[in-house]
Structure 1
Amino acid sequence: MGGYPNPMWTGPPVGETPFTHETVRRDLALLERRGELSRVHGGATTPQAPVGEEASFTERSGALAAEKQAIGRAAAGLIEPHQTVVIDVGTTALEPARALPADHAGVIATPSLLVAAEVSPGPRVEVLVSGGRLRPGDLACSNAQAVQFFTDLRADAVFVGSGGLAPYGLTDFHLDEVATKRAMLANASHRYVLTDSTKVGRTAAHRVCELSGFDTLLTDTPCPADLRTALDRAGTTVIVA
């Protein structure tokens, strides 16, 4: 296999068999759940490698759940009563909706039916859904209708999800949704990007914006030096939840 997949592993306890197919499969599965690698045919790759296809919603929901919740709580703490707030699609972007207080008052606009379902029970929340073509899994709306919806909406704050974040900029997997994200960012007073550590240093296929295209990054781990330098140059604030 060309080496054990976890560089911090120092070997099995004395008396144990170093490698078996069963232990390797088990440990690879554990590291993948932690977001430390992605299994591929014939081996594994680190999460910093470029990626061409997004994992399913179910797979992403089970990865780094506690870290995403921490990001969500930090984001929800930035939302003030009676604001108009845009919340994007994705498993990390879903967490601010879940973390809002039950008595929150304000307008929540979203292209995500999952976000809409989370916030709709709030008796003092007005929910606006963009409409458009629905993508299964994330239940995300996109197309010209969604873009026009966010172009015509002036928001106090927007919380955008991420397919990848690198010195190159913010990227996403879904071409149809890039224009929607750009419209969200262009028409909000405060622009936040939510990125769990599996997305940091990665680049998805489609660029959304440069690092100067948003004000604040919320993540669960300190950024690598090259990315932190690029964020500093862009004047972007980093909050580690």
Structure 2
Amino acid sequence: MLVAERHTRIVSSLRAATVASTEELAHQLEVSAETIRRDLVTLEQQGALTRIRGGAAIGLPSLTGQEPAFVDRTGLAAVAKERIGRAAAALAPPGGTLVVDVGTTALAVARSLPAAFNGTVATCSLLAAVELSHRPDAEVLVSGGRLRPGDLALSNGSTAEFFADFYSDVAFLGSGGVHADAGLTDYHLDEAAVRRTIIRNAAAAFVLADATKLGRIARHRVVALRGLAGLITDEEPPGDIRAAIEDGGGRVIVAEGATR
């Protein structure tokens, strides 16, 4: 089993039970307790869980501190993000107009768009733009803005102005956290403002969030969940999140191959 998949399964187990012992996790995953202890240290550093005596827990709803580094986030829930990316790409209409946001899960959407995609994609992610450059029939538009290292994300007033003049069929949004009451939240103030502009001009805006983001709250509020067309995730979300999405007329899409 790949390390990334093991990490995903650890987080999924904790979301189901809230608390799990090291021995329980070792038995479930058929690895040594020492391997699980190393995994828990890594996942705690990434903000995915909290280690407790003899095991770990997921303490919801709040998430404090800084966003984990990009290199750490690329390894967290990597299998889940690939599934989410494929599920999102399946919503892209042929010849349609898309927005692909910043973040590791949004990057998975860009990677999952078929080579024959012939629509227009606007993005504020240089990583996504490079990925999309391999689609010969796609028109790729890149916003301006201040560059954030790691994610190679662009954001500031000029980024918001770019998206204020761009109307999309579907927008795929990254997330810092998704919470029934707090809504969609993010770590970066400028990027939260850009997302609000993207949402206003999108016929349908879907938030992308693996299970580690569900129930969490990052510093800056983007929008209430009722303002979204839906949530694309890798496992069945808590009931209050599903209700908040569906009460606003949105839908929850659980990626194929994920836990339901």
**Bigger CA radius of gyration:** 1
Deviation of residue 231 (structure 1)? 2.3
1:51 aligned residue (57, 63, 70): 63
Q: 2:119 aligns with which of 102, 106, 129?
A: 106
Structure 1 residue corresponding to 2:251, chosen from 227, 237, 241: 237
Could you tell me which amino acid in structure 1 is paired with residue 60 of structure 2? Q
Q: Distance in 1 between matches of 2:111 and 2:251?
A: 24
TM-score normalised by the chain length of structure 1: 0.86
Closer, same or farther: CA 45–74 of 1 in aligned 2, 3 Å: same
- In 1, the alpha carbon distance for the partners of 2:42 and 2:67 equals 20
Does structure 2 conserve the Cα–Cα contact (< 8 Å) formed by 1:195 and 1:217? yes
C-alpha displacement at 1:29, in angstroms?
3.6
1:11: how far off? 9.2
* Structure 1 residues 240 and 11: CA distance shift in structure 2, 3 A: closer
Contact 1:33–1:64 (Cα < 8 Å) also in 2: no
Say whether 1:192 aligns with 2:206: yes
Farther off after superposition, 219-228 or 69-78: 219-228
Output the amino acid matched with 2:225. Answer: L
Decide which structure has greater helix share: 2
Indicate yes or no: 2:161 matched with 1:148.
yes
* Deviation by residue 1:51-110 (Cα, 9 ceiling, x = unmatched): 222100011100111110000000011101211100000001111100111121111100
Aligned to 1:96: 109
Aligned to 2:130: 117
2:196 alignment partner in structure 1: 182
1:224 aligns with 2:203: no
The Cα shift of 1:200 comes to 0.2
Shift of 1:187: 0.2
Separation in 2 of the partners of 1:11 and 1:132?
A: 44
**Distance of aligned partners of 1:45 and 1:154 in 2 relative to their CA distance in 1, 3 Å threshold:** same
Alpha-carbon shift at residue 232 of structure 1 (Å): 2.7
1:190 offset after TM fit, Å?
Answer: 1.3
Please tell me whether residue 71 in structure 1 is matched to residue 89 in structure 2: no
Distance 1:10 1:154, change over 3 A: closer
Superposition pairs for residues 31-46 of structure 1, below 5 Å?
Answer: 37-38=49-50, 46=58
Task: Output the TM-score relative to the length of structure 2.
Answer: 0.80
CA distance in 1, matches of 2:58, 2:98: 35
RMSD over aligned CA atoms reads: 2.7
Distance 2:89 2:111 in 1: 9
SS of structure 1 residue aligned to 2:130: helix
Secondary structure at the counterpart of residue 238 of structure 1? strand
Number of aligned pairs?
A: 229
SS at match of 2:212: coil
The structure-2 alpha-carbon separation of the partners of 1:198 and 1:67, relative to structure 1 and needing over 3 Å to count, comes to: same
For 2:13, the equivalent position in structure 1 comes to: none
Structure 1 residues 198-207 or 23-32, which shifts more? 23-32
Paired amino acid for 2:124: P
Residues 117-151 of structure 1: per-residue CA shift (max 9 Å, x gap)? 00012110111001100011111000110000000
CA distance in 2, matches of 1:116, 1:219: 23
